[in-house]
Amino acid sequence: MDVLHVLARLFGTVVKDRKLEIPEQFGKGYVTRYIFNEQIRMMIMNYELKENMVIDNPEVNAPRNMILFKFQHIFDETEKQPAVLITTTSMNMGPVIPIHTHTSTINIEVDSNYLSALFDQSEKSPVLQSLLENTQPLFFEQVIYPSLQEIVNEIVKTGVKDPFKMFFLRIKAEELVCRLLMELEKREEKHLYALNSRDIQTLYRIKEEMLEHLDTPPVINELAVAANMSPTKLKSLFKQIFGNSIFSYYQECRMKKAAFLLKEGSLSVSDVGYQLGFTNLSHFSRVFQEHIGMKPKQYSRS
């Protein structure tokens, strides 16, 4: 029995046309799953439940040769940045699955041997090579840029009907995976650390604390103390997971927050600059243009 049917039994309902509608007494939304073949499968989850749940993982003993691409915040109409988590199977196969009250994700799982066979072995970067070998616990986060979001929207809002729907969705899923691997291939790390859940939780805690204080530039030594890591290890793990240095990541998120505030329209350019810790508005304008592509005042009017 797969996860979808375990959920259906838990909610006292049935799966129809690969889709589980959440009964009203438990919440709202849906879960749908597509098993295209032995090499690739996809699950779309967009629901709100009245309480958190935990279920036994029916696939805990399945072969661990899959790579997971987990798309997050793709349905949210909030300031949260859509992102995809890319992990080797050994990071994900726990005995239980937490079912959170608010979930909006797309999970695509692909066989690492299938993916590896599609590439010229001599041309792969160290990051791509390590991921496709799938022999150690790895974890990456990649921001979803607009062209990737367009593909996601095609999957979620597809009007394609049978007999072409499965074919269409598989092609789109593989296109997403291809584009994400192209982004990972650009990463420059020569050596990758095998990760554990504690390191990942620590790095995410540090990242969230940093994002909660976008008006204050991060101080590496202070973050390292908070993480109980050496500054060198902290910087290396942060860049390995998020694909950017701590300060560059901070500055990028700072400018995305500025863009969000400017689009809301309730604050002036100077108010936004001061709120995000800039004392020199010319400097704010220059940094904003470097990241967003236009000056703040021009952006607020666009």
Instruction: Note the pTM of the prediction, 2 decimals.
Output: 0.86
Q: How confident is the model at residue 41 (pLDDT cuts 50, 70, 90)?
A: very high
b/e per residue 214-228 (b: at least 16 CB within 10 A):
beeebeeeebbeebe
Q: Does domain 198-301 have CATH number 1.10.10.60?
A: yes
Tell whether the model's pLDDT for residue 95 goes beyond 70.
Answer: no
Residue 28 tokens, joined:
């709202």
- The pLDDT tens digits for 47-94 are 888 888 777 766 655 666 889 999 987 776 555 678 899 998 765 555
Average pLDDT over residues 99-124: 83
- The pLDDT tens digits for 237-287 are 999 999 999 999 999 999 999 998 998 878 899 999 999 999 999 999 999
For residue 163, whether the previous peptide bond is cis, meaning omega lies within 30 degrees of 0, is yes
Tell how strand 19-21 and strand 139-143 pair up: unpaired
Q: Where are the domains of the chain?
A: 3-185, 198-301
